[in-house]
Structure 1
């Protein structure tokens, strides 16, 4: 590996640290394999340490959003952006122009400053389906990073603006709902359609690769949540099956934990229950 090949990521790492954001390395070519334990507390902006680290390998770059006092919105393409725009219209938006990074999947990361006095945490599909929030407890893959799917590219280097009040409220309200006890609905015997749908989504979760764990599990929980909301699947049955199917994600090569898996499943189911499928469409 040549010095030139290494230095492009080194320069990005130094640039992001220069923005005032604590960073840490991810395994080369990945987006969810931190190279350090307790990364949220060990992320830093020390240029000498950054040079020593990135001089040894072509590491991707993670921005620790909590220590950086950032809130990064992550709408997946194509539905996430439409859903986020709908929330903006509902809440009286608009989405202000801010620092923006394009993701390999066609989505984007919108970087906002966390307003003073706020304490926002990660959420998956809580403010809207297919829209994740990276805040305290999370990180965003920085521009310049590369995976098999493509590169994270800087689209707009506008200095991050403060997260608008309507988005602060949406994040706080809906993340709180998603992280509380699962929404309870009346018990129902799973229909043949519902049982088949649950089996199919569980199989997707079981076979998800390390780089797609969060996206696949979140999408599966949301899809099944819509059927739970239509009384096609029992909530407890769905929740237990999805968590069991995701058990393989807790491995030495992945940052997933039992707690995170449960949180993603509960958030996805809750979001899906709010938007149930019509029974006539499911039949």
Structure 2
């Protein structure tokens, strides 16, 4: 909450008064209504350290829920207000500038590698709830061979998969672990490409 308050101060805005829930770990969820016709994605740490947003494809634990860490409770019991314009603008700017990864720019990337890259990123973005982590793992394993063969740079593949995973609601830590595991597995099994 301190980081969000600092963000509000830096941008010259008051902290919005809206439905607010205290989480079991002592954090807060602020609820807003989305602008009509807008499909915002999920973010993790993009607005500031420990500030995550959940929208299309994301979820939060509802107030009244009890976990091993404690209960989720409403602390400001008012209806959610519309997402403030200044916050909407920041989310849209981040979403449009980072929401889509460019295809690989490596001169070594074959059209096959580029097509594979685009197909796997698309499959992660379209993964239904309950299959997102498994889809991310399959994508990492599929793309790892292109890294092993020198067709794609690992850092670009990792970044694209990380963004796609976070955009569908996976946590940053979970995404990073799944991607690392899938890429390492695939690279170890593919080695150098043999000449035809």
Question: TM-score normalized by structure 2?
Answer: 0.52
CA distance 1:168–1:137, change in 2 (3 Å): same
Aligned partners of 1:113 and 1:161 also within 8 Å: yes
CA distance in 2, matches of 1:171, 1:259: 16
1:114 corresponding residue in structure 2? 34
CA drift of 1:116 comes to 2.3
1:133 corresponding residue in structure 2? 53
Aligned partners of 1:92 and 1:166 also within 8 Å: no
1:10-44 deviation line (CA, Å, top 9, x unaligned) = xxxxxxxxxxxxxxxxxxxxxxxxxxxxxxxxxxx
Aligned partners of 1:239 and 1:265 also within 8 Å: no
CA drift of 1:166 comes to 0.4
1:104 corresponding residue in structure 2? 24
CA distance in 2, matches of 1:238, 1:149: 37
| 1:260 matched to 2:180 | no
1:185 corresponding residue in structure 2? none
1:52 corresponding residue in structure 2? none
**CA-atom RMSD in angstroms:** 3.5
1:147 corresponding residue in structure 2? 67
CA distance in 2, matches of 1:134, 1:262: 9
CA distance 1:128–1:239, change in 2 (3 Å): farther
1:96-134 deviation line (CA, Å, top 9, x unaligned) = 111011001110100111122432121111222211111
Aligned partners of 1:83 and 1:129 also within 8 Å: yes
Question: TM-score normalized by structure 1?
Answer: 0.37
Question: Larger % of strand: which?
Answer: 1
Q: Secondary structure at the match of 2:92?
A: helix
Alignment of 1:208-219 (within 5 A): none
Unaligned runs of 5+ in 1: 1-80, 183-213, 215-234, 247-257, 270-283
CA distance 1:165–1:102, change in 2 (3 Å): same
